Amino acid sequence: MQVKKDIMWRINVSFILLCIMGVVILGQILKIQIVEGPKILAHADSLTLKYKNIPASRGNIFSSDGRLMATSVPIYDIRIDTKSGGPSNDIFNKNFNEGIDSLAICLSQLFKDHSAAEYKHAIKEARSNGERYFLIRRNVSYSDLQQLKNFPLFRLGRYKSGLRIEQKEMRELPFKMLASRTIGYMRDVKPVGIESSFNEELTGIGGKRLMQKISGNVWMPITDKDVVDPKDGNDLITTIDINIQDVAENSLEKHLRLHNADHGCAVLMEVSTGEIKAIANLSRTEQGNYIEDFNYVIGEATEPGSTMKMASILAAIDDGLVEPTDTVFVGNGVYNYFGQSMKDSHAPRSSRLSIQQAFETSSNVGISRTIWNAYVKKPQSFIDKLKSFGLGQPIKLEIEGEGIPVIKNTNDKSWSAVSLPWISIGYETTITPLQMLTFYNAVANNGRMVKPHFVKEIRNHGQLIKSFSVEIIKDSIASPSSLQKVRKMMEGVVERGTASTLNTSPYKIAGKTGTAQITQSKYGYLKDHPSYQASFVGYFPADAPKYSCMVVVYSPSNDVYYGGAVAAPVFKEIADKVYSNHIELHSAPQNTDSSIIHLPIAKAGQQKELKKILAELNIPVYVNEEGALNVSVKTSNDKLVLNEMKTQTGLVPDVSGMGMKDALYILENAGLRVKCTGRGNVIRQSISAGTRFNKGQTISIELGI
């Protein structure tokens, strides 16, 4: 009986304990559901649901005439939700099973990276593993995307096919290498160029989209409704002229190859505004090709050599210490400064030269002795004068990476007894090409120094947001009379001096050649295998300066290294292109006898363009057929006669006398493939005019002067 009571007692106790435990568990359940539940659910949502940023479309970068230089091209990541609608979605399951074979074949044919069997296996395996966001391919182009949307299964739409498309953007340069370093880029490595300096303006304001994290740590958009649209970035209108930029880079590369140079640069600036119209920077690779991988115009500060001589002479003239007609003793072109021998590159014409002659022939001895005689007792005043020109100070450009200029003072530790004469001819100092050009541009601009700049306007969908006006660094660097004297001296360099090869143009050029031996870091100036830097800096037309330009070629290695022979030809090719494209630079024809009309030789071409040009030149014109598209040109007694050039379908057009551009246009529109040789006007075509031809047939045209 007692045993039975003990058992019952234990059962009762156990029951009570179970009840207590049940109450505790129930309490915990109620606590979780009522008190902690919302917090837990909110925490879970925070791990799987988030508003993710949507990058705004980056603004475009345009040339000065509106041509696209940098743009963002959409690219796409393609994925498939292999469980779209869940496992009970019979419609999706049916669509998937019926379309997977055809889809795999189409994907294989489009991308050509995997076989149809491999595509099918990968997608089906992802489906069996329950992958909700399986990646098919990254970085798909827009045109490929349009094809892909019409593939079996995918053409049923997003929810019936599981197709998921993620749009991204890729930066593209339509003109490829042209000014690419100046345009720059935004990457994980140090950003450079306009892209970097104007990143805030280009970036725009990002949007938001509600996303859910699924397997594989992949975030997937939930709906198209929970979206805050981004605001596109602004567009930039640069100062770059694509036509001149093209000539600058092609000419620079041609001459770098000709002289087997290590690298080189060229920059063209508008005198009155400081707008950079062209900027080229090329480096030789190990394979012998030339690429843009560093902005030498902005970033490389080196010893400028003889281009510094103009600043030295301007300092002495403006201080009233010398005149261009003064003379200086140069002896045999060798002079010793405290044990250091300074030599001229060529023997002087005479033992005594005028300062004008010393400058024109770039006499090291003549210029250094002129400055020595003027400033030997007050060298710091010479240094101060150079710095008053803006030399030795950064320009503080809108683009980052400006090289640090150095013109040392007399109290610097490196100053020596020979510093004054060597600085006067461009050694013991460092200056970038753009800093030197800015100084020469000020001389061309009647003393007013303007800041070089690369961007003219900021726009948004065509609407002007901000324009950049001319920024003046110094109102005047020297007196008008001093500037007039050095301008005449620079004209003499081209007319009679070291750049006389440029004295063949229909417009006047003023400038200065430069040839500097390059120091080899810790080894100094090598005597056995010296390396040189050739340069030319100047402006044109000299009598009414419109553009300034500097060209620097580093380490030419084919035994020709003087600035007049290596750098000046690049300057001329750029200047010729600018001159030919800007009729306002041309001087009006001068006729001593008004009764005589000198008619020019004109190419055949489009009537509309010819009439416009001839009207600008005030050339009398008679048109036989006003409605004719293309015309030939014949010279009459007192006028040019334009005759219609008739073409018939299937017959070879007559392009004799045309320039290459017009000839290509007419022949290719007729259905011919064209090969060109020579320069000038068409003097011969391999298939006679009027001959019947087959579409796609090749015709060769020979150009000549």
pLDDT in tens, 62-75: 999 889 988 888 88
- pLDDT per residue as tens digits for the range 296-317: 999 999 999 999 999 999 999 9
Over residues 386-412, the mean pLDDT reads 95
3-state secondary structure of 16: helix
Task: Give the bridge partners for 631, in sequence order.
Answer: 605, 644
**End-to-end CA distance of the chain, in Å?**
136
Residue 498 — left, alpha, or beta (φ > 0 → left; ψ -120 to 50 → alpha)? alpha
Residues contacting residue 198 through CB under 8 Å, at least 6 positions apart = 236, 398, 455, 458
- Please give the structure tokens belonging to residue 589: 């024809």
pLDDT value at residue 596: 47
- Please give the structure tokens belonging to residue 614: 């001839």
3-state secondary structure of 133: coil
Decide if pLDDT at 293 tops 60. yes
Distance CA 357, CA 359 (A): 5
pTM above 0.85, yes or no: no
One-letter amino acid for residue 212 of the chain: Q
3-state secondary structure of 698: strand
pLDDT value at residue 523: 47
| Phi/psi at 683 (5° precision) | -110, -15
> For residue 671, what is the DSSP state?
T
3-state secondary structure of 467: strand
Going along 415-530, which residue ranges are E strands?
A: 429-430, 449-450, 455-460, 463-467, 472-474, 510-517
* Complete DSSP assignment for 551-605: EEEE---SS---HHHHTHHHHHHHHHHHHHH-GGGSPPP--S-TT---PPP--BE
Q: Which is nearest to 548 in space by CA: 472, 431, 396, 440?
A: 440
pLDDT value at residue 659: 77
- pLDDT per residue as tens digits for the range 312-369: 999 999 999 999 999 999 999 999 999 999 999 888 989 999 999 999 999 999 999 9
pLDDT value at residue 265: 97
- Please give the structure tokens belonging to residue 133: 């966001």
Number of Cβ within a 10 Å radius of residue 409: 13
> For residue 129, what is the DSSP state?
T
- pLDDT per residue as tens digits for the range 145-169: 999 999 998 988 877 888 888 888 8
Decide if pLDDT at 430 tops 90. yes
Distance CA 607, CA 590 (A): 27
* Complete DSSP assignment for 618-665: T--EEES-TT-SEEEEEE-SSSEEEEE----TTB----TTBBHHHHHH
- pLDDT per residue as tens digits for the range 256-265: 999 999 999 9
- C-alpha angle with apex 340: 334 to 341, nearest 5 degrees? 15
Q: How many DSSP H helices and E strands does the chain contain? A: 22, 32
Distance CA 683, CA 703 (A): 6
Residues contacting residue 315 through CB under 8 Å, at least 6 positions apart = 371, 382, 385, 386, 389
Instruction: Considering only residues 340 and 35, tell me which one the structure prediction assigns the higher pLDDT.
Output: 340
